[in-house]
Amino acid sequence: MGRLFGTDGVRGLANADLTPDLAMRIARAAVTVLSAKGARRPRVVVGRDPRASGEMLEAAVTAGLTSAGADVQLVGVLPTPAVAYLIADTDADFGIILSASHNPMPDNGVKLFAKGGRKLSDEVEDKIEAELDAGAAGPTGADIGRVTRFDDGAARYARHLLTAAPGRLEGLHVVVDCANGAASTVAPDVYRDAGATVTAINADPDGVNINDECGSTHLDVVAETVRALGADLGIAHDGDADRCLAVAADGSVVDGDQIMAILAIAMKETGQLRHDTLVATVMSNLGLHQAMKEAGIHLTTTAVGDRYVLEELSKGDYSLGGEQSGHIVLPAHATTGDGLLTALLLMARIVSSGQSLDRLAGAMRHAPQVLLNVPVTDKTVVNSAQVMKLVEHHTRELGDSGRIVLRPSGTEPLVRVMVEAMTAEQAQQVAQDLADAVRASV
């Protein structure tokens, strides 16, 4: 059996791969590993996105936590970064978020955050996994954990965001696509309270429509609305709102790399970019490397996953990092990727600079990039001799004018093939060649 935890918690088909029993055992094990030792009973914050299976899994993890003697604060449907904030704000021992982020509705996930709202290291996750089948006797009587409802979580998170926002947004018309997810509960109101004129779309979650042809994985929806209304920009979140992608007034996409470039340049101008360094992953486009070099900003890269970005930010005492997918991390205000915070800072930059989003995004020019997702039953095929030999061949062929990244997905049964080259045609040809080799090796 492979490692249970992926790059963002434990994720799979709800009630099949991710069963209530597994969720309950993860919760019990987490109490053992993550609770502070002392007289106080452990306290745990539990939140979820609005997908239907979240109700079932919330009941399961609540049972696991209380049966291990932990008190539970249920915050209901809230963005992942909101739950992370509330863990720190309430001094809880740890927290659990039930979400599969951008995945389709049938999937769900268990994300764990340690004290202070921080993501877990691989080593801590391994300890939790080792505890899954411990089977220790649980407490009885008055020592069983209790459950309370945390009703003002959304309001406390909203106040935090508005305090972190660097400026007002009057005069800006934004279309926000909430992906029928957790952003629906907070994002439109926060952007209005910051001064923007807001048109909210896909903000009516019913448990089954989350990420359904909407949100950050389907940007054509928000782009069409922005053009139709003549709005200044569009913001698109994913199911748990830890991502933010954008579209300009003409409907052109502004991805996470461009957002990072915009924010990095703005923060350098105001002296907020610590050590003049941006942290990104190996999946970021070569164009971001070039743009940062031109702006006098150092770019350091990590493995894919915002947890690795967070580790590098902490290690180097840096102030901005993120992923091409729209996970942007700002350690001064958040312990994880926060799509709403990112959107507020991006919109504030538009207002303060007096420039349109497409003009600001022009600081970075994309190198042609092709990303192919290859379904596999065994992700280790990326290390097969046939595949590695072909990677070496094409790497020599591309030289300094291109790049290849071949990696197993941490959240889905896929191998991701990413190729950058001087031309789109060459990138497509190399990527297809590698994808075919992966399929042939399965």
Q: State both tokens at 311.
A: 């580790």
Q: What is d(CA 105, CA 51) in angstroms, rounded to the nearest whole number? A: 6
C-alpha torsion sign, points 112, 115, 121, 125: negative
Catalytic residue, candidates 53, 101, 184, 284 = 101
Q: What is the sign, positive or negative, of the torsion defined by CA atoms of 339, 340, 343, 344?
A: negative
Task: Tell me, yes or no, if 121 is annotated catalytic.
Answer: no
Sorted by sequence, the CB contacts under 8 Å of residue 54 that are 6+ apart come out as 48, 77, 98, 99, 108
CA 115, CA 140: separation in Å to the nearest integer?
Answer: 26
Q: Closest Cα partner for 279 from 307, 254, 255? A: 307
Tokens of 79: 């963005």
The answer to whether the beta carbons of residues 402 and 428 sit under 8 Å apart is no
Residue (of 263, 284, 402) closest to 342 by Cα position:
263
How far is residue 324's CA from residue 256's CA, in Å, rounded to a whole number?
4
What's the CA gap between 358 and 350, in Å, rounded? Answer: 10
Cα dihedral value 376, 377, 383, 388, nearest 10: -30
Is the CB of residue 353 less than 8 Å from the CB of residue 262? Answer: no
Residues annotated as catalytic are 101
